[in-house]
Amino acid sequence: MTMTKRQSLMKRTLSSIALAAGLLLGSSSAMASEEGSLPSAGTNVHDQAALQRGAKLFFNYCVGCHSLKFVRYSRIAEDLGLSEQDVMGNLNMTGAKFGDPVVSHMPEESATTFFGKAPPDLSLEVRAKGADWVYGYLNSFYLDPSRPVGWNNTVFPNASMPNPLWELQGLQTAVMHKVDGEEAVEKLELSRPGKLTPAEYQQATRDLTTFLEYAAEPAALQRQRYGIWVLLFLAAFTLLAYALKKEYWKDVH
């Protein structure tokens, strides 16, 4: 292949890469603009203390209705640095065994009667909707007497569930305004404080979101730890391969 042909092929290859990158960045920008109204969750699944606090919140306020069918109590203990006694004594509210998955004790029939449909399993909730969505959802409940359960949500309008953390957050009410002749929520105001200050509640929901992000992919913690060693191996192998190439080609002119 002549030099001119090589240069032409290289230009076409670089143009294709640039086009693909442009499309990818454009798609990412569009997604960011669509989700720009969501607050940043700021989660960190490597923060073990946050994971432990989030687990406590989940098992005290969420497991009554929601399951984590793809996560076992034993795995939570291993990944969160807890003993079997810690988990079984403080987190296990259903009488399950240490090796069992986390399953809500609410019968599906009762959930359907109360909420109109069975509450979803939350194992993959963050994978499906993103940490920012879950965090925003937990912070966006407000009182709405027109709804069957008396609550509504600005992130997920007409949600079927009440605010499970209302005792911690307090009661929010909506300030309405008209958009194209229809009533819409302009902002939410705290009409009655809860047990936590707004800043403390935001931290609590961030911790809960962090735990749900971990639950969506527990193997991510181990995979990321292994990833460092894989990168170090590849770096060392690259140096070795380069030295070997230099040795093989040193007599070739």
Binding site feature residues: 62, 65-66
Q: Which residues are annotated as a binding site for heme c?
A: 62, 65-66
Q: How far apart are CA 194 and CA 138, in angstroms?
A: 14
Q: What is the DSSP string of 117-184?
A: SPPPP-TTHHHHH-HHHHHHHHT-EEE-TTSTTSEEESSSTT-SS--TTHHHHEEEEEEEEEETTEEE
Residue 163: closest CA among 204, 132, 130? 204
Q: How far apart are CA 252 and CA 245, in angstroms?
A: 11
DSSP state of 40: P
